[in-house]
Amino acid sequence: MGEDTESSKGNHSFLRDYVTEADVISTVEFNHTGDLLATGDKGGRVVVFQRETVVGHKPKGELDQVGETGESGEYNVYSTFQSHEPDFDYLKSLEIEEKINKIRWLPQQNAAHFLLSTNDKTIKLWKVSERDKQPEGYNLKDEEGRVKDISTVTSLQVPVLRPTDLMVEVRPRRVFSNGHTYHVNSISVNSDGETYLSADDLRINMWHLGITDRSFNIVDIKPANMEELTEVITAAEFHPHHCHLFVYSSSKGSLRLCDMRASALCDRHTKLFEEPEDPGSRSFFSEIVSSVSDVKFSHNGRYLLTRDYLTAKVWDLHMEKGPVETYQVHDYLRTKLCSLYENDCIFDKFECVWNSSDSVIMTGAYNSFFRMFDRETGRGVTLEAWRETSKPRAVLRTRRIYTGGKRRRGDVGVDSLDFTKKILHMAWHPEENIIAIASTNNLYIFQDRVSPDTQGPDLGSDTI
């Protein structure tokens, strides 16, 4: 997936950083079966991994025998393609970044796979298909495709399909452009299988997958006077089952659930989820740390998971006045907010994910750490995605941040955290306990070998 970014500070360090910058992974997403894993990077490339089918792989649902590790397939590169190219806005003399902000898979309907990928401006629908047969025996063309000399053709033959080496073809099928004035931060495919939404800082549009020249604007929070702008949209998602419902989060920490049946323009929310501010802990940074960086519906559609700078929260769709669960991701940073504001780390956007049964939530942190919280017990665990400490097939051990009291060996002090190593993007397999963690330009895939189908913190690791 690219080289490690560890590089000595030399005179050319800024050039070197620029070169490897393109390899930084910017999004990770499993498809609906979990057999394919797509990653997008800052260079506009998409790499699709496929899980290899191992002979003897136990089908889902069967319990592993005690002592058997199980033969879960590994993920190997399936296809790589350049999704977006660097673009240039001539009017403003600005580069439009080719970085892939989000990838979303469509539910599979035939042998081909479809995914949507987006940069700041343009959304593209890609078809990923396999070809393992090739027609041979044309009358007018030879094997290389050159036109045959007519005089050499003496008899008529019927072309036949012959098996060849597997080829994976990726073709752009639709390009949805000119829909957004501001930077696209989210896309979400609707459960109806025909439409999807795309959200930028101020607007949300709904598209039909088959129509590229127009979209419906369903949310618009742009004020008449840009000087009055105080809030932007940070993420949006369709409900997993109800095709008329979607949610979007804002930089002020609120969530709005909208029903498209109510009106064409969903500026007025159906439900507003907001936690009242604790007056005791108010500071100049309160608003910034309350800004929601990611929002995800649970698989059962009953809960919402949000991530703000310091916490992850679970909200019940039936209760708007506050979250039902709050998990402290890295509360030790609360006293360091000023420094984090100085170096801009306070604006980092962490993603959050549910596991398949909605019993565990996961999100990223700094120093290559990521956190998992068991909703039933409320307990959290810190794990590390770092090449030096994760050998393939080794069991991940939990890490601790030292914040006072008795210091154990292996504890990491708050002041020695590396804020350049941040885990922003991650994905959880839709059915099994397999997680994909992106750490700058490395992708880590961890599989639970002990209990592949139930939750549990025991994880083995495969580093890619």
Partner 1 sequence: MCRLAFWSMSLQCWDDALVSALVGWPPWLEASVQHSSQFWMANMYSKGTKRKFFDSVDAAMDNKAALYSRQRQSLLDMSLIKLQLCHMLVEPNMCRSVLIANTVRHIREEMTHDGSWQLVTEAFGGSGPSDHLVATEVLCRSSALEQQGGGPKLYSVMGYDGCREEEVVTDEALCSVTFSDGAPSLLGTIDHCWDRAELRMAAVENRVIKDSGSEVESGEGAKTVMGQVFGTFEIKNVAPGSDLALEELFSAVDASYYDLDTMLTSIQSTPKMGPYNLLDSMASSHGPTSNSSCRTDLSELDHIMEIIVGS
Binding stretches for partner 1 (CB under 8 A)? 11-12, 14-15, 17-18, 88-97, 99, 120-121, 177-178, 180-183, 201, 225-227, 229-232, 234, 251, 284-285, 287-288, 291, 336, 338-339, 341-345, 347-348, 414-415, 417-420, 422
Rounded distance between C-alpha atoms, residue 446 and residue 443, angstroms: 10
Q: Which pairs from 406-410 meet CB under 8 Å and 24+ separation?
A: none
Shortest distance, position 446 Cβ to partner 1, whole Å: 24
Rounded distance between C-alpha atoms, residue 136 and residue 102, angstroms: 40
Shortest distance, position 309 Cβ to partner 1, whole Å: 10
Residue with tokens 């804002």: 250
Shortest distance, position 251 Cβ to partner 1, whole Å: 5
Q: Which is nearer to partner 1, 173 or 252 (CB)?
A: 252
Q: Which is nearer to partner 1, 91 or 140 (CB)?
A: 91
Shortest distance, position 348 Cβ to partner 1, whole Å: 7
Shortest distance, position 94 Cβ to partner 1, whole Å: 8
Q: Which is nearer to partner 1, 19 or 166 (CB)?
A: 19
Contact between residue 402 and residue 412 where contact means Cβ atoms under 8 Å apart? yes
Residue with tokens 């393109």: 22
Q: Which is nearer to partner 1, 79 or 251 (CB)?
A: 251
Q: Which helix H or strand E contains 7, and what residues bound it? A: none
Q: Which residues, other chains included, contact 429 with Cβ-Cβ below 8 Å and sequence gap of 6+?
A: 30, 34, 356, 435, 436
Shortest distance, position 58 Cβ to partner 1, whole Å: 41
Q: Which is nearer to partner 1, 136 or 277 (CB)?
A: 277
Residue with tokens 């002041």: 415
DSSP state at residue 164: E
Residue 179: closest CA among 153, 200, 154: 200
Q: Which is nearer to partner 1, 249 or 355 (CB)?
A: 249
Q: How many CB atoms lie within 10 A of CB 237?
A: 22
The amino acid present at 93, given as its one-letter code, is: S
Q: Which is nearer to partner 1, 12 or 393 (CB)?
A: 12
Strands 216-220 and 233-238: unpaired
Residue 21: closest CA among 4, 38, 43: 43
Q: Listing from the earlier edge strand, what are the strands of the sheet with 380-384?
A: 352-354, 360-364, 369-374, 380-384
Q: Which is nearer to partner 1, 127 or 336 (CB)?
A: 336
Which residues share a beta bridge with 352?
363
Rounded distance between C-alpha atoms, residue 380 and residue 374, angstroms: 6
Shortest distance, position 83 Cβ to partner 1, whole Å: 18
Q: Which is nearer to partner 1, 13 or 139 (CB)?
A: 13
Q: Which pairs from 17-20 meet CB under 8 Å and 24+ separation?
A: 20/441
Contact between residue 76 and residue 111 where contact means Cβ atoms under 8 Å apart? no
Shortest distance, position 207 Cβ to partner 1, whole Å: 15
Three-state secondary structure call for residue 112: coil
Q: Which is nearer to partner 1, 331 or 342 (CB)?
A: 342
Shortest distance, position 293 Cβ to partner 1, whole Å: 9
Q: Which two tokens stand for residue 285?
A: 């940074």
Q: Which is nearer to partner 1, 398 or 420 (CB)?
A: 420
Shortest distance, position 6 Cβ to partner 1, whole Å: 12
The amino acid present at 257, given as its one-letter code, is: L
290, HSE (Cβ side, Cα atoms, 13 Å): 20
Shortest distance, position 422 Cβ to partner 1, whole Å: 8
Describe the chain by its helix, strand, coil percentages, rounded to 5.
10, 40, 50
Rounded distance between C-alpha atoms, residue 416 and residue 412, angstroms: 7
